[in-house]
Amino acid sequence: MTAIAATGQETESPSFEYQKKGRWLTQWEPDNPKFWESGGEKTAKKNLWFSVFAENLGFSVWVLWGSIVTAMGAAGFTFLEGLGKGNPTAVANALLLTSVPTLVGATLRIPYTFAVPRFGGRAFTVFSALMLLAPTLGLAFFVNQPGTPMWVFVLLAAMAGVGGGNFSSSMANISFFFPEGKKGAALGINAAGGNLGVAQTQLAAPLLITLGTHLLAKDAAGYRFGITLAVLVWVPFILVAAFGALRYMDSIVSAKADGKSYKLALTNPHTWIMSFLYIGTFGSFIGFSFAFPTLIKANFPHLTQISWITMVGNLAFLGAFVGSFSRPVGGWIADKVGGARITVFVFTGMSVAVCLIMAALSMKSFPLYLTAFLLLFVLTGIGNGSTYRMIPSIFGATAKKYASEHGLDILETQATARRQAGAAIGVIGAVGAFGGFVLQQALRLSNINFGSMAPAFWGYAVAFIVMAAVTWWCYLRSSFAIEKVPSLAYANV
């Protein structure tokens, strides 16, 4: 393959020599087949796997409080005593501690998106991994101080939010490494690897807490020892992730933020429509993932008497586990039948799942409760995949229509649309994560003001139906399908 140089003469297309050690890449052309095959692909995959490892740990630390709070009452912290008996104050405090990391993580997603072009993917991955040491080492210290007030733990929970920000920097970094035709799969692997961190923490933390109480004693000191184990277990992996990123990852010189695309994405109404929908999918996934251990312990306290269920965190890890694996399935199905159709189905199903959860609570049936929640988590995962699939389709359709209406070059306009879609994904991801905070706060305020979380759940059921209606109205009506969405400004980006 040849390329035309500035002199008008043909020159050989560049190739790339793979190097194991990390460095700054002054030349990066993944869409060039020769460049990609001669070493670019191997380099991109190397960076992907180290990115997945670091992001996975970010999610693990981010969600850690969801499991820790269920044991802190037994560890001697009075503000959480009675959580297993449905004490409204303890439940409200627990939901505050699990929602604060969600809020901070959602807020950090926007600056973290811009950090990679500014500092380089390699350096920022090292930094973001090392930042995880602050909430883990801090919690390990203060949980062994029985007189520590709740506000200190609120600050530590806020510090854990840095793990949620890692998602945006990791996704932004990996998007620069892969050609257009392979970005979807690479970003899907990156996202799924991160989401699995939620499940592994909710499985490992209760096991380690139980181990700690058996090694020491089944009293407050034993629970503090168990919590310490559940926190410090991540420290060696964090250090390995930071070292691996420093030693083996690369930074791309040409990876620059596209400010104009972000500006246009922020003024594009489709960005905000999709942000609203992503609150329902990803916001529900992360919000319920954080709250699920607390919800189980508060609603079914008798399960603590069943030792094997207690050891696996009352099976709370299953929610995030099935939700993580169903995400790529949602994208795959959306490729076949359309993202909007799947999203309408998802929101309708989520509303039904919430109704089943309420039925399970009225019947006091844990098997139905767990089954309904697992259905809800599966649907959130599918919805995460289908809504992400909708974003490039919407921006591509509007670009095609705009080019046709104004006689512009379709390829150039679609390239602009891809940049806007990439910018919009960063905004949508941040807003969706913020939805997880709103969801948990709704549970908390419902419990404080009504003495029950039922009003919040019924509110979710209605909200999901509204989201299904918005999806149908904006992107499925025969006169207003995705292929016919209003065209917006794409020129001169």
First to last CA, the chain: 30
CATH fold of the domain at 29-252: Growth Hormone; Chain: A; (1.20.1250)
Q: Which part of the chain has CATH 1.20.1250.20?
A: 29-252, 258-493
* Interatomic CA distance for residues 400 and 273, integer angstroms: 20
Which residue, chain included where needed, has tokens 């460095």? 23
Whether residue 8 has pLDDT greater than 80: no
How many other C-beta atoms can be found within 10 angstroms of the C-beta atom of residue 302?
9
Q: Which residue has the higher pLDDT, 325 or 348?
A: 348
User: Which CATH fold topology does 258-493 show?
Assistant: Growth Hormone; Chain: A; (1.20.1250)
Judged by average pLDDT, the poorest of 33-37, 229-233, 265-269, 371-375 is 265-269
Three-state secondary-structure class, residue 116: helix
Burial class (CB in 10 A: 0-12, 13-18, 19+), 4: exposed
d(CA 119, CA 125): 10
pLDDT at 352: 97
Reply yes or no on whether the pLDDT at 131 is more than 90.
yes
* pLDDT category of residue 288 using cuts at 50, 70 and 90: very high
- Flag the least confident range among 2-16, 50-64, 164-178, 383-397: 2-16
Statement: residue 16 has pLDDT above 50: yes
Question: According to the model, what pLDDT value does residue 6 have?
Answer: 39
C-alpha–C-alpha distance, residues 432 and 475, integer Å: 19
- State which H helix or E strand residue 282 sits in: none
What six digits make up the tokens of 469?
Answer: 């209606």
Q: What is the mean pLDDT of residues 382-395?
A: 83
Highest mean pLDDT among 59-73, 170-184, 293-307, 472-486: 59-73
- For tokens 């400010």, the residue is 259
Residue 128 · residue 54 · CB < 8 Å = yes
pLDDT at 234: 97
Residue 49: DSSP 8-state: H
Cα separations in angstroms, 356 against 286, 360, 361, 382, 404: 20, 6, 9, 19, 48
| HSE toward the beta carbon, residue 182, CA cutoff 13 A | 16
pLDDT at 491 over 50: no
User: If you average pLDDT over residues 206-223, what whole number do you get?
Assistant: 86
Residue, of 452 and 155, whose pLDDT is higher: 155
User: In this model, does residue 492 exceed pLDDT 50?
Assistant: no
d(CA 278, CA 386): 10
| Residue 432 DSSP SS3 | helix
Q: How far apart, in whole angstroms, are the C-alpha atoms of residue 480 and residue 85?
A: 51
Residue 19 pLDDT = 79
Residue 477 tokens read as 């009506």
The counts of H helices and E strands in the chain are 20, 4
- Predicted model pTM: 0.81
pLDDT, residue 355, reads: 97
Length of the chain: 493
Of the pLDDT bands very low, low, confident and very high (cuts 50, 70, 90), residue 305 is low
Q: What percent of the chain has pLDDT over 70?
A: 87
For residues 324 and 200, the answer to whether their CB atoms sit within 8 Å is no
Residue 486 clears pLDDT 90, i.e. is over it = no
* Whole-number average pLDDT of the chain: 84
pLDDT at 304: 62
pLDDT in tens, 439-461: 989 998 998 888 888 999 999 99
Residue 456 CB partners (closer than 8 Å, separation 6+) = 442, 443, 445, 446, 447
Residue 416: pLDDT above 80?
no
For residue 389, which of 348, 329, 468, 432 has the smallest C-alpha distance?
Answer: 329
C-alpha to C-alpha distance for 447 and 20, rounded to whole angstroms: 54
Instruction: Identify the pLDDT of residue 338.
Output: 80
